[in-house]
């Protein structure tokens, strides 16, 4: 060991010793106590409500029908998402100072960076087991599965979490091109699993889907053998992910590690001060592709602006692909919400609102440009409101097209189950879902316009708000930061519920909501 490496190692140990001395045993006990109390007060009621809803006859019937397909799909898309996430924030991450100390020391990274990776993989394993156990217990509670099957599925969920951790570290290690091709390969194998019958026996998505606990009767010897084979396959895959972890850690490059650490430290500081917009801007992809695509062309203003915005989004292909996938997922969730009943409508509608709001943000960069130039004199005789309308062409067209694709996918995959829940109305839920998706896209575009002119956090909101329970200023800041997301959940939820009760009434309700949100957006934009 060189003298510089030994000095760096002593410095890191001194820092860790100082941190350990700074946090007393009482602080650790209090942190554990606070975490347990928060989980008991907030988490347990939410989990109980979800399990009770899934245990209802209509919901459990849908869960039994689509549970295996959804489980395999979630596994595949999670692997692809974690590979992509590795390029932004990998599991092997330390503060810039510690990273500089250990990376410049000469020690193998399999030793210096193993701690955060182990913690991340353990967290994903626990999360995977919990998310798998939730629907499994609901199915077992109505007698459609055994408790043993539910526990086996939870164990498979833990193995899936370990595999996702390996994909996360792989995405941090490889280059951008390899990362993109890996994501494409995972999505392609998932599409093959969905389209080709009988191929699930050789794909991990099929292994996990086959372990979904359905059927409350006795399990035959052949089915038991297939189940243990699928569980063994997932175990081998998780073991392989753990085995290659040291090699992946040693291959991590110092500049990329330091860049990620500095970016996340800056984003954390901005988020702590309440500037979430600037914090999210730290992770916005830099345009590096499509420089030869002409952004300016002929045609009217609407076509010219649509082409300009489309070319701008294509110059960040990953963001464009996420926008398309997000809008497809939005349409799929709208289909689920229209065909559900009870609290499931609001759960699916709120999930769709969040996904759609985030997906449309990729095509809404023009709105932010309008907000920046709103106080300047209008260029070429185009007013601010007309400029907003011109920039709205791409998000409206893209959102409607890809959400319509999502509704079609939902009608094919979930058509039978939703038709049964909807009282045997046949193809009507698909048309209702299509109308609801189109209306919700238009409303979410208005919400995006409203959010684009938000501006920085007012300093008056940072003032203390004394209450009997303590200072509530953090809640005020959180509500101000999440106002667009909350508004999205309200307008999408109300629209979906109204369309499910009748298409005509739903259209009238959506028009009323559009007038209100449009007035709010107009007032905020003109006040800039």
Tokens of 311: 């070319």
The highest-confidence range among 8-12, 164-168, 172-176, 372-376, by mean pLDDT, is 164-168
Asked if 159 and 79 count as a contact pair (C-beta separation under 8 A), the reply is: no
Give per-residue pLDDT as tens, 151-192: 888 999 999 999 999 999 998 888 888 888 898 899 889 888
Tokens of 110: 């399999």
Tell me: pLDDT of 221 over 50.
no
Asked if 417 and 62 count as a contact pair (C-beta separation under 8 A), the reply is: yes
Give per-residue pLDDT as tens, 103-157: 555 667 777 778 888 899 999 999 999 888 888 887 877 666 677 888 888 999 9
Ordered DSSP codes for 191-241: HHHHHSTTGGGGSHHHHHHHTS----SPPPHHHHHHHHHHHHHHHHHHHHH
Instruction: Say what the alpha-carbon torsion angle 245, 247, 252, 257 is, to the nearest 10 degrees.
Output: 30
Residue 466: count of CB within 10 angstroms of its CB: 9
Q: Which range among 61-75, 78-92, 457-471 shows the weakest confidence by mean pLDDT?
A: 457-471
Write phi, then psi, for 22 (nearest 5 degrees): -70, -25
Asked if 51 and 138 count as a contact pair (C-beta separation under 8 A), the reply is: yes
Contacts for 474 with CB less than 8 Å, ≥ 6 apart: none
Which among 374, 436, 364 has a CA at the least distance from the CA of 400?
436
Q: How confident is the model at residue 220 (pLDDT cuts 50, 70, 90)?
A: very low
Q: How confident is the model at residue 423 (pLDDT cuts 50, 70, 90)?
A: very low
Give per-residue pLDDT as tens, 470-480: 666 677 777 77
Contacts for 396 with CB less than 8 Å, ≥ 6 apart: 441, 442, 445
Give per-residue pLDDT as tens, 459-499: 777 777 776 666 666 777 777 778 888 999 999 999 999 98
């Amino acid at each position: 060991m060189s003298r510089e490496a030994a000095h760096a190692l002593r410095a890191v140990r001194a820092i860790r010793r100082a941190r350990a001395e700074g946090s007393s045993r009482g602080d650790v006990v209090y942190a554990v106590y606070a975490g347990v109390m928060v989980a008991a007060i907030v988490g347990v009621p939410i989990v109980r409500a979800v399990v009770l809803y899934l245990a209802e006859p209509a919901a459990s019937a849908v869960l039994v029908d689509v549970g295996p397909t959804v489980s395999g799909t979630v596994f595949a898309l999670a692997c692809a998402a974690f590979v992509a996430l590795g390029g932004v924030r990998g599991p092997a991450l330390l503060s810039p100072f510690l990273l500089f100390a250990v990376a410049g020391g000469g020690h193998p990274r399999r030793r210096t960076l193993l701690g955060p990776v182990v913690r991340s993989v353990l967290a994903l394993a626990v999360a995977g087991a919990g998310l798998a156990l939730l629907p499994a217990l609901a199915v077992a509670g109505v007698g459609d599965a055994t408790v043993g099957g539910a526990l086996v599925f939870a164990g498979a969920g833990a193995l899936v979490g370990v595999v996702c951790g390996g994909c996360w570290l792989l995405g941090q290690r490889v280059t951008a091109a390899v990362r993109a091709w890996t994501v494409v390969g995972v999505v392609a194998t998932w599409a093959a699993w969905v389209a080709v019958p009988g191929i699930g026996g050789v794909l991990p998505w099929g292994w996990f889907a086959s372990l979904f606990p359905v059927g409350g009767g006795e399990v035959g010897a052949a089915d038991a053998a297939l189940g243990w084979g699928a569980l063994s396959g997932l175990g081998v895959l998780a073991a392989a992910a753990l085995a290659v972890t040291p090699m992946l850690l040693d291959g991590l490059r110092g500049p990329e590690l330091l860049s990620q650490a500095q970016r996340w430290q800056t984003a954390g500081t901005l988020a702590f001060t309440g500037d979430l917009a600037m914090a999210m801007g730290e992770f916005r992809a830099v345009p590096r592709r499509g420089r030869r695509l002409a952004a300016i062309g002929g045609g009217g203003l609407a076509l010219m602006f649509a082409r300009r915005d489309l070319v701008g989004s294509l110059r960040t292909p990953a963001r464009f692909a996420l926008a398309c996938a997000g809008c497809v997922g939005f349409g799929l969730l709208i289909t689920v919400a229209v065909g559900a009943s009870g609290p499931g409508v609001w759960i699916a509608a709120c999930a769709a609102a969040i996904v759609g709001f985030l997906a449309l943000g990729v095509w809404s960069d023009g709105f932010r440009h309008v907000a920046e130039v709103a106080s300047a004199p209008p260029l070429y005789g185009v007013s601010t409101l007309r400029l907003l309308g011109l920039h709205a062409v791409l998000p409206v067209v893209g959102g409607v097209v890809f959400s319509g694709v999502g509704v079609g996918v939902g009608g094919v995959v979930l058509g039978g189950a939703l038709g049964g829940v909807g009282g045997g109305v046949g193809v009507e839920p698909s048309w209702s879902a299509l109308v609801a998706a189109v209306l919700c896209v238009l409303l979410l575009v208005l919400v995006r316009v409203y959010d684009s002119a938000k501006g920085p956090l007012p300093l008056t909101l940072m003032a203390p708000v004394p209450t009997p329970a303590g200072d509530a200023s953090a809640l005020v800041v959180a509500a101000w930061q999440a106002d667009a997301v909350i508004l999205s959940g309200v307008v999408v939820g109300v629209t979906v519920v109204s369309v499910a009760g009748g298409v005509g009434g739903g259209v009238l309700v959506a028009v009323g909501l559009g007038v209100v949100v449009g007035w709010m957006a107009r007032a905020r934009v003109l006040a800039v």
